[in-house]
Structure 1
């Protein structure tokens, strides 16, 4: 039987927005916890997601005041959250920061592409390819499993409708726990930057 991630907590209503694109995203560089700003496309994606969320709430008879707004403290997530809130007609700065929502760190690999690392550390890149979920990058990096443990600590605190702005890795492990997915699937999940994920009544969907 295939192992799946433990379902630590199942919030009734959680909306997730990934930060908009950065230049390092575009270049395929391992970003991790480096504070790389949104690029022009990323700012547009964040603005559009604010409008998308506003339309979603209106369509479903919801008000922003119903929600707790929380973001990773990195610059690209703060900028995204403030643009999202502005698109919803809200004061941009009225939200919380949460350190547990930071992206996983790639340690010494941050700033590099896989192509570059395959030239300098082919044996490590091969180990990562074989088990991306458990692989720990050198120089103080985190595996997806280590990130899952960190995000689980936050997820159990979500006790009211919440709009969260964070990172691709965060979304992967969060969705893995919510949906009970196998680890080998979690690290490969697509996390678009121009859509919003809604988890409501134990079901998830993108819009």
Structure 2
């Protein structure tokens, strides 16, 4: 079983570097074009269907991908929704760091809950679509925290994921494993993650 976690296309708040969270901001023109362009990259992947978070920016991205790839558009999964950032939603990211340096944002969903929710979503998708290759359109923080929970690393050490980046997870030997992160092989990235955890600079091979 292979699930590719795809970050949705660009929104105006992405462009303005504002925190989105659960706020339902739609794709902008660039985001829709990013989805159409990504379909060309995904065309040879043998994907069977596309599912998504219920937020509009993820759902529209999924619709564009399914239409362009000529594959089934599946349902939405609440577990794929973005982390709730409470009072920080709509606030410029640089301002968030100044106002809440300890990440004690009022109304924010606990970080630890996000990765667990992502893992539950993977299980739900796999249970409903066994042995299929699935594109799951979700959100940057949700994807990073899910991958980090699987690999045992700190999500803050994972690289930022671009819009329409693809991160594959595979179910092998009764467990999920991270295969790629933003299109980069996990085996290439793991030394960088370990170095960041140790507090030393790291340079990715290649």
TM-score, normalised relative to structure 1: 0.74
Assess if the C-alpha contact under 8 Å between 1:50 and 1:84 holds in 2: yes
Q: Normalized per residue, which structure has more strand?
A: 2
Following TM superposition, the consecutive aligned residue runs of length 4 or more in structure 1 with deviations greater than 6 angstroms are none
Segments of 5+ residues of structure 1 without an aligned counterpart are 1-11, 129-135
1:49-64 aligned within 5 A? 49-54=38-43, 56-57=44-45, 62=46, 64=47
**Is this contact kept in 2: 1:137–1:143, CA < 8 A?**
no
C-alpha distance 42-171 of structure 1, shift in aligned 2 (>3 A): same
Residue 176, structure 1, aligned to residue 148, structure 2: yes
For 1:115 and 1:191, the matched residues in 2 are separated by 18
1:191 paired residue among 150, 161, 175 = 161
Residue 106 (1) aligns with residue 85 (2): yes
CA contact (8 A) 1:49 1:196 kept: no
Rate the CA distance shift 1:203–1:175 in 2: closer, same or farther, 3 A. Answer: closer
Q: Distance in 1 between matches of 2:63 and 2:80?
A: 16
Partner of 2:20: 31
Q: Would you say the 8 A contact 1:18–1:165 is kept in 2?
A: yes
Question: What is the number of residues matched between the two proteins?
Answer: 172
Give the structure, 1 or 2, with the largest relative contact order (CA under 8 Å, sep 6 or more). 1
